[in-house]
């Protein structure tokens, strides 16, 4: 059973602020059923906290991660708990601290670096592509790079063209990187813990617009393996593959489509690389139709990759061409109405699913 079905999202519910400062930090709000209520940012913080407790080689580094508790408060309370040696504020030098992290990883430490936004990873592109992802290979396995690079990805609220990039297709392109992009607090925590226990560089793509999503999740420890997708909603007529924030748009669209008698299955790959194409293919074998939703651009996007792999795997099961709902191929406009039309929002997903279903 899907974690989302077991632990439904509570996007509208506000955490009870009377119980300390639950909006931030690693402490969840304990619920009577033994679960805890966590927002996405708290789930990430809890994963970091638990793993840093467990493994003294893990340290966090980035712009404003320590004294300011992180630009999005994901690292809230970590400085107090683990001290300035393990929670380090850096200057505005992405290339510098990314390189530092690769070096630290080579010495056996487990760095976690925060890009305030993945838009700012571009100055560090060379460190990520040429060093982090290649070092293990170049040294014949002598220097694995257990590095977690994390931060918000995709469009924020009206942050215009330079700060709205979705980088999952970009970083998935290069061999040597694991690319993770969770859509729920449950998935985020389980995947972050896995990222902190393995030896390859991970691009951990969060989403600013999901940090406040809340979910009841277990207090007991769990991990989610890479390369294992999750069915967020079961259906019979059309598979919607969606990533990160798009999962929520897809679920919204599925609600809309259900009213018209179209039953959608929403599949969340959770990790883009490695990709759980078998889960997607099995879903399409059942529904015969597929629409991929993502915040990347259409050209060379994740949808292009999934559509191609589906064609290779389940060509004979397709009733319609695989649809793609992506960010339209223009720089993100500042205007809210134009931003709405640029992003793969539910109304565009509904149209694409109807087309795939010949409705």
Partner 1 sequence: MIIEQLVPAKSPTMTEGTIVSWRVKPGDKVKSGDVIAEIQSDKAVVEWEVLDGGTVAEILIPAGTMAQVNQVAAIFTTKGDEDVKAAVAKAKETNAKLAPGGAAPAPAPAAVAAVAATPVPAPVAAPAAAPAASAPAALAKGVRVSPVAAKIASSLGVDLRAVKGTGPDGRIVRRDVEAAAKAGTAKLGAPGGAAAKPEKPKLKVLRADGANSDVAMTPMRQIIGKRLLEAKTTIPHFYVSESVDAGALVALREQVNLLDGFKVTVNDLIVRASALALRAHPKLNATFQNNSIRYYDSADISVAVAIPDGLITPIVTKAHTKNLKQIGDEVRALAKKAVDGKLQPAEFQGGSFTISNLGMFGIAEFVAIINPPQVAILAVAGIKDEPVVKNGAVVPGKVMRLTLSADHRAVDGADAAAFMKTLRELLEAPATLLV
- Which residue among 33, 175, 315, 337 contacts partner 1 (CB under 8 A)? 315
81 is catalytic: no
β-partners of residue 240 are 266, 291
For residues 166 and 318, which CB has a smaller minimum distance to partner 1 in the complex?
318
Least gap, CB of 208 to partner 1 (angstroms): 39
* Cα distance between residue 353 and residue 355, in whole Å: 5
Least gap, CB of 304 to partner 1 (angstroms): 19
**Binding marks (x or -) toward partner 1, 112..151, rule CB under 8 A?**
----------------------------------------
For residues 33 and 316, which CB has a smaller minimum distance to partner 1 in the complex?
316
**33 lines the binding site for partner 1 (CB under 8 A):** no
Among candidate residues 26, 51, 63, 94, the one labeled active-site is 94
**358 lines the binding site for partner 1 (CB under 8 A):** yes
For residues 58 and 307, which CB has a smaller minimum distance to partner 1 in the complex?
307
For residues 95 and 263, which CB has a smaller minimum distance to partner 1 in the complex?
263
For residues 207 and 239, which CB has a smaller minimum distance to partner 1 in the complex?
239
**One-letter-per-residue 3-state SS of the chain:** CCHHHHCCECCCCCCCCCCCCCCCCCCCEECCCCEEEEEHHHHHHHHHHHHHHHCCCEEEEECCCCCCCCCCCCCCCHHHHHCCCCEEECCCCHHHHHHHHHHHHHCCCEEEEECCCHHHHHHHHHHHHHHHCCHHHHCCCCCCCCCEEEEECCCCCCCCHHHCCCCHHHHHCCCCCEEECCCCHHHHHHHHHHHCCCCCCEEEEECHHHCCCEEEEECCCCCCCCCCCEEEECCCCEEEEECCHHHHHHHHHHHHHHHCCCCEEEEECCEEECCCHHHHHHHHHHHCCEEEEEEEECCCCHHHHHHHHHHHHHHHHCCCCCEEEEECCCCCCCCHHHHHHHCCCHHHHHHHHHHHCCC
Least gap, CB of 357 to partner 1 (angstroms): 9
Contacts to partner 1 from residues 171-190, by CB under 8 A? none
**319 lines the binding site for partner 1 (CB under 8 A):** yes
* # binding residues, partner 1 (CB under 8 A): 8
Q: Which of 243, 231, 248 is nearest to 270 (CA)?
A: 243
Q: Which of 50, 57, 36, 48 is nearest to 76 (CA)?
A: 48
Least gap, CB of 191 to partner 1 (angstroms): 33
Least gap, CB of 314 to partner 1 (angstroms): 9
Q: Enumerate residues 6+ apart whose C-beta is below 8 A from 297.
A: 166, 169, 326, 327, 329
**317 lines the binding site for partner 1 (CB under 8 A):** yes
**Binding marks (x or -) toward partner 1, 272..311, rule CB under 8 A?**
----------------x-----------------------
- Which residue among 32, 157, 316, 337 contacts partner 1 (CB under 8 A)? 316
**Measured on CA atoms in the order 265, 213, 216, 222, is the torsion positive or negative?**
positive
Among candidate residues 50, 64, 81, 163, the one labeled active-site is 163
- Contacting range for partner 1; rule: CB under 8 A; set: 171-179, 200-208, 255-263, 313-321: 313-321
**320 lines the binding site for partner 1 (CB under 8 A):** yes
340 is catalytic: no
Give the β-pairing of 29-30 and 202-206: unpaired
Contacts to partner 1 from residues 55-74, by CB under 8 A? none
For residues 79 and 322, which CB has a smaller minimum distance to partner 1 in the complex?
322
Least gap, CB of 291 to partner 1 (angstroms): 15
Least gap, CB of 229 to partner 1 (angstroms): 22
- Interacting residues toward partner 1 by CB under 8 A: 288, 315-320, 358
Catalytic residues: 94, 163
């Amino acid at each position: 059973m899907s974690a989302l079905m077991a632990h439904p999202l509570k996007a509208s519910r506000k955490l009870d602020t009377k119980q300390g400062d639950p909006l931030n930090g690693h402490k969840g709000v304990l619920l009577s059923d033994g679960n805890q209520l966590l927002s996405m940012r708290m789930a990430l913080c809890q994963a970091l906290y638990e793993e840093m407790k467990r493994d003294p080689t893990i340290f966090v580094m980035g712009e404003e991660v320590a004294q300011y508790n992180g630009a999005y408060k994901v690292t809230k309370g970590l400085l107090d708990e683990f001290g300035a040696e393990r929670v380090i504020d850096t200057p505005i030098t992405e290339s510098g601290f990314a390189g530092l992290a690769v070096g630290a990883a080579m010495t056996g430490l487990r760095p976690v670096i925060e890009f305030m936004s993945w838009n700012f990873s571009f100055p560090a592109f060379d460190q990520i592509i040429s060093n982090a992802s290649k070092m293990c290979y170049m040294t014949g396995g002598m220097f694995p790079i257990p590095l977690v690079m994390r931060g918000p990805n995709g469009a924020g609220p009206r942050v215009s063209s330079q700060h709205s990039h979705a980088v999952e297709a970009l970083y998935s392109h290069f061999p040597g990187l694991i690319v993770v992009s969770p859509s729920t607090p449950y998935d985020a925590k389980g995947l972050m813990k896995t990222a902190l226990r393995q030896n390859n560089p991970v691009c951990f793509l969060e989403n600013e617009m999901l940090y406040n999503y809340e979910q009841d999740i277990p207090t007991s420890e769990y991990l989610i393996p890479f390369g294992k997708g999750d069915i967020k909603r079961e259906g019979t007529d059309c598979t919607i593959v969606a990533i990160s924030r798009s999962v929520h748009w897809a679920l919204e669209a599925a609600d809309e489509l259900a009213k018209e008698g179209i039953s959608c299955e929403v599949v969340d790959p959770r990790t883009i690389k490695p990709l759980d194409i078998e889960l997607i293919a099995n879903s399409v074998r059942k529904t015969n139709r597929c629409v991929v939703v993502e915040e990347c651009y259409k050209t060379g996007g994740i949808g292009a990759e999934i559509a191609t792999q589906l064609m290779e795997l389940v060509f004979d099961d397709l009733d319609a061409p695989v649809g793609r709902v992506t960010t339209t191929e223009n720089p993100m406009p500042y205007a809210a109405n134009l931003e709405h039309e640029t992003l793969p929002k539910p109304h565009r997903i509904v149209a694409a699913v109807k087309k795939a279903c010949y409705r």
